[in-house]
Chains A and B, each alone.
Chain A
Amino acid sequence: MTEPIVSTPLRERATKALGDRFLHEALDIATTKFIALRREAFGNFPEGEHLRDRARAIKEATLQRLDTHLETLVANVERLGGHVHFATTAEEARDVIVDIARRTGARMAVKSKSMATEEIHLNEALQAIGVTPVETDLGEYIIQLAHERPSHIIAPAIHKTKGQVAELFSRELKRPGLPADPEVLTKIAREELREKFLQADLGITGANFAVADTGTVVLVTNEGNGRMATSLPRVHVAVMGVEKIIPSMTDLAVFLAILAKSATGQKLSVYTTLVQGPRRPGELEGPDEFHLVLLDNGRIAQLAGTLRESLYCLRCGACLNVCPVYRQIGGHAYGYTYPGPIGILLTAMLNGPRSVKDLSHASSLCGACADACPVRIDIPRMLVELRREVDDKGIAPWTERVVFKTFARVLRSPRLYRWGARIGRTAQRPFVRGGRIRALPFFFGAWTRTRDLPPVAARTFQERWREL
């Protein structure tokens, strides 16, 4: 168990997020833009639908033979002079990286954006041994300065407005009075980060893909920081979930054609960095040492689990952008490393069903996520499966289970169902005014606090039927 166990209930966290005007504005602007860009990108790309099917099929087939592909990858990375480490847990992954940092006498680590390192809480572990981690993706840099965590898989600072970033930079970088101008702010971040790139001993990245056949780690970025982090420091450590492996370069072409379109609506991201082991004799740039950390952390168990399909995830963030719940509450309210619809599944994968007792219900099951997912992961289906697990294992409150089981009894019996209608009609009497119910006590108030409820009809349709 590596994740923060959040103490306030989901509903409270969500309500707090709803009250944040800045968050609302930032989310609305960003997700609306992402949705439009994605739609346009695929609209101009007729082969996109076919490639999505193809990508899904590759993921399916690769996971069928994950062991073989991993063996190939390890052999090829080692052949290229790199080192491969297998970490069963987040703790093991941290230990591996901490050891590398210690052994190489590292003082500073530049990091390219990586959710895997967020998942294992790497920054804290590095700080504990006196290594300063510096996030170099602009969004990550912003939230590191703000001492926050990413609220989106690809746009970690999506919850901040440009005004908030200007204030943050002015205060934290001691450059008072900065304007809310993205160009100015980006230039300042660039200046600050350039120094760090030159000083750092350690470059830490994630991996969007690892190509088994060639031992290549692939990074997709827009700022070029991935390239800097993998070429300037003496040591490069790439951390990736085992499911990110793909068999061949031909497969890579399929994924690259749909990844950026799904994420940001770009045809391709600005940089696609392919890394093969450490610097070879005669090469001018690249690290002396290359390490690949392969992270299990609950993934391998799901090869045969209900969440298997979530191992297809490319971490593009498209499901977050289209999710009506995410668009209202943002990523932090989810309470764990991975937010949004896919994040609920990953939270369950990393932390077990207890962690999603409430979170599994943070979805109207509208299906927009499955529709947007480049590899068509059936997220709503798995959310329902998680809810089932939460019920079956007795994690759901017993009161809820009694309510639903009683409800089921009523639905199996037309007599009880008719009584139900009759009881409803009697019980609602004090609350009906002008044909509407504006306030109800107890549990029902959850509806009526913000919405009217129609009263149960004086005669149900089935009662009227004979006269029709």
Chain B
Amino acid sequence: MTEAQSAPRAPAASQRVALMITCLADMFYPEVGERIVRLLRGLGVEVTLPAGQTCCGLPLFNSGYHDEAASVARRTASLFRDADAVVVPSGSCAWMVKHEYPGLLRGGADATAAERLAERTWEFSQFLVRRLGRTAFESDVEGPLAYHDSCHLLRGLNEGAAPRTLLANLKGAQVVPLPGSDECCGFGGSFSVRLPEVSTSILERKLANLEASGASCLVACDAGCLMQIRGGLARRNSPLRALHLAEILK
């Protein structure tokens, strides 16, 4: 697995960042957004929230509705037109913006905006490590942690290192390896409801690996994976937890 190549940069004197909250975090996990805002402000970063955000359009794109996805992308690119840097709490949404927006809007009036946005967009852990060069945080949870690679962050953005760097440097935390950490959790957006039995069967493998790891908490950088994994843990009344990386850093 190749890691993203860019070296950590020193934090600029004053950082301004626009938060792309994403539909899942906005509607279901607002506390993740709050943690990110507090953490970034604590690091001296000014956080803005461009108004009128909805969703990046990934569900439309993945199901093949590309004209519709492009119309959503066009809108998002325009919302974030003036941002110096954009932080996204989910690897999959960051991938959509960085990887697919330029292609969707190529040749149109918004092509440049899409390319600029792609260059300036960071997944949350990447932003901390690669843009701010900040890796020392304290843990806000007890017990051993295990990291789950979300597919789009790991294979889409080639980023397995930044979250692991943060966890490895996390004061007061014990991090254990998760067997099959790079395997899909079975979410896959509409896949999870088109083939729910298969999706759940894949999830069961992930949950079994989590149990085998000895961790009391799984850490991930994608709200989609968390919805799937938490949904499975809750249904099984499991004592194990699944949290977004932002929820354990302080």
Instruction: State which residues 337-368 of A face B: CB under 8 Å.
Output: 358, 360-368
The residue in chain A whose Cβ has the minimal distance to the Cβ of B194 is A361
What residues of chain B lie closer than 8 Å to A411, measured between beta carbons?
Answer: 23, 54-55, 57, 60, 72, 75
Contact of A447 among B71, B196, B230 (CB under 8 A): B196
A462 to B53 alpha-carbon distance, docked (Å): 8
Contact with B along A302-327 (1 / 0, CB 8 A): 00000000000000000000001101
Contact with A along B166-201 (1 / 0, CB 8 A): 000000000000000011101111111111111111
Q: Which of B26-34, B114-122, B125-133, B134-142 contacts A (4 or more CB under 8 A)?
A: B26-34
Contact of B64 among A387, A443, A452 (CB under 8 A): A387
Q: Which of B5-13, B211-219, B231-239 contacts A (4 or more CB under 8 A)?
A: B231-239
Contact of A412 among B26, B54, B66 (CB under 8 A): B54
What residues of chain A lie closer than 8 Å to B235, measured between beta carbons?
Answer: 438, 450-452
B68 in the interface (beta carbon within 8 A): yes
A280 in the interface (beta carbon within 8 A): no
Instruction: State which residues 27-48 of A face B: CB under 8 Å.
Output: none
What residues of chain B lie closer than 8 Å to A164, measured between beta carbons?
Answer: none
What residues of chain A lie closer than 8 Å to B198, measured between beta carbons?
Answer: 14, 18, 325, 328-329, 362
On whether the beta carbons of A367 and B54 are closer than 8 Å, the reply is no
Instruction: State which residues 380-423 of A face B: CB under 8 Å.
Output: 384-392, 396, 404-405, 407-408, 410-414, 417, 421
What residues of chain A lie closer than 8 Å to B190, measured between beta carbons?
Answer: 361
Contact of B65 among A391, A447, A456 (CB under 8 A): A391
A171 in the interface (beta carbon within 8 A): no
On whether the beta carbons of A453 and B60 are closer than 8 Å, the reply is no
Q: How many residues of B contact A (CB 8 A)?
A: 66
A415 to chain B, nearest CB (A): 9
B52 in the interface (beta carbon within 8 A): yes
On whether the beta carbons of A368 and B155 are closer than 8 Å, the reply is yes
On whether the beta carbons of A454 and B230 are closer than 8 Å, the reply is yes
Contact of A15 among B26, B63, B197 (CB under 8 A): B197
A384 to B63 alpha-carbon distance, docked (Å): 7
Q: Which of B51, B65, B232 has the most CB of A within 10 A?
A: B65
The residue in chain B whose Cβ has the minimal distance to the Cβ of A462 is B26
Contact with A along B58-82 (1 / 0, CB 8 A): 0111111110110110010000000
A91 to chain B, nearest CB (A): 32
A51 to chain B, nearest CB (A): 16
Query: With A18-B201, A325-B202, A451-B228 given, is the CB distance from A390 to B30 under 8 Å?
Result: no
A352 to chain B, nearest CB (A): 16
A367 to B157 alpha-carbon distance, docked (Å): 11
B87 in the interface (beta carbon within 8 A): no
A457 to B49 alpha-carbon distance, docked (Å): 18
Q: Which of A329, A405, A413, A454 has the most CB of B within 10 A?
A: A454
What residues of chain A lie closer than 8 Å to B228, measured between beta carbons?
Answer: 451
Query: With A14-B197, A388-B66, A457-B27 given, is the CB distance from A414 to B184 under 8 Å?
Result: no
A386 to B66 alpha-carbon distance, docked (Å): 12
On whether the beta carbons of B54 and A449 are closer than 8 Å, the reply is no
A194 in the interface (beta carbon within 8 A): no
On whether the beta carbons of B71 and A384 are closer than 8 Å, the reply is no
The residue in chain A whose Cβ has the minimal distance to the Cβ of B34 is A468
What residues of chain B lie closer than 8 Å to A391, measured between beta carbons?
Answer: 63-65
A325 to B196 alpha-carbon distance, docked (Å): 11
On whether the beta carbons of B151 and A365 are closer than 8 Å, the reply is yes
A188 to B38 alpha-carbon distance, docked (Å): 69
Contact with B along A450-468 (1 / 0, CB 8 A): 1111111101111011001
On whether the beta carbons of A407 and B59 are closer than 8 Å, the reply is yes
On whether the beta carbons of B234 and A364 are closer than 8 Å, the reply is no
On whether the beta carbons of A366 and B30 are closer than 8 Å, the reply is no
Contact of B232 among A325, A405, A421, A451 (CB under 8 A): A451
On whether the beta carbons of B231 and A447 are closer than 8 Å, the reply is yes
Contact with A along B210-250 (1 / 0, CB 8 A): 00000000000000000110111011000000000000000
A324 to B209 alpha-carbon distance, docked (Å): 14
22 contacts between A and B (CB under 8 A): A324-B186, A324-B202, A325-B198, A328-B205, A365-B188, A367-B156, A368-B183, A370-B155, A387-B64, A391-B64, A407-B59, A408-B71, A411-B23, A417-B55, A446-B193, A450-B196, A450-B200, A455-B28, A457-B27, A457-B30, A460-B27, A464-B33
* Chain B residues in the interface with A (C-beta under 8 A): 1, 21, 23, 25-30, 33-34, 37-38, 49, 51-55, 57, 59-66, 68-69, 71-72, 75, 151-152, 155-156, 182-184, 186-203, 205, 227-228, 230-232, 234-235
What would 20 more interface pairs be, CB under 8 Å, given A328-B198, A363-B188, A453-B227? A18-B197, A18-B201, A360-B64, A361-B194, A366-B183, A366-B188, A367-B156, A370-B155, A387-B63, A391-B64, A391-B65, A407-B59, A411-B60, A436-B234, A447-B196, A451-B203, A457-B27, A460-B27, A460-B30, A468-B38
